[in-house]
Amino acid sequence: MGLRFAEDLRRMNPKRFFSEEHGLEETILDILKRKDADTVIFVDACDMGAKPGEIGFLRVEDVGESISTHKVPLAMLMALVRKEGKEPFLLGIQPKTLEFEDGLSDEVAASLKKIEKIVRAATRP
């Protein structure tokens, strides 16, 4: 879900944003090497029992073991980030369905656009 979103942000500022294009686990290792990154915000689909497209900002303690497309559970990656002295968060977006699909629902796409607009406004030079 978030790959296209992450790539858009990465093009905006490649020093501040990372994409899992080459694998989430490899990306985490790159982030852990960075001394200037003290906060890490993951963006991913998250079943929060909310309306499709609803956004939640979660701490590592709030992220349980759930269905994931990642080889390593996101909660475990967030715990690793915290162990390395960085503060991890999950910007979760409630998917319309938990079935693996090719496209984004209109609700999720609208939420991603809102988030991108906020991030662009906050990171202007």
User: Any residues with CB less than 8 A from the CB of 25 and at least 6 apart, and which?
Assistant: 70, 71, 72, 77
Per residue in 77-88, pLDDT (tens digit) is 888 899 999 999
Write down the pLDDT at residue 67: 46
Better pLDDT: 26 or 106 = 106
Question: Beta strand 87-93 with 55-59: parallel, antiparallel or unpaired?
Answer: antiparallel
Per residue in 81-118, pLDDT (tens digit) is 999 999 999 888 898 887 766 678 899 889 988 988 88
Better pLDDT: 56 or 12 = 56
Write down the pLDDT at residue 82: 93
- For residues 15 and 19, what is the distance between their CA atoms, to the nearest angstrom? 11
User: Where in the sequence is the domain holding 28, given as residue range(s)?
Assistant: 3-122
> pTM of the prediction?
0.81
CATH number of the domain encompassing residue 91: 3.40.50.1450
In the chain, how many domains are there? 1
Tokens 């294009």, residue located: 21
Write down the pLDDT at residue 70: 57
**Mean pLDDT score of the chain:** 81
Per residue in 47-59, pLDDT (tens digit) is 888 999 999 998 8
Write down the pLDDT at residue 87: 93
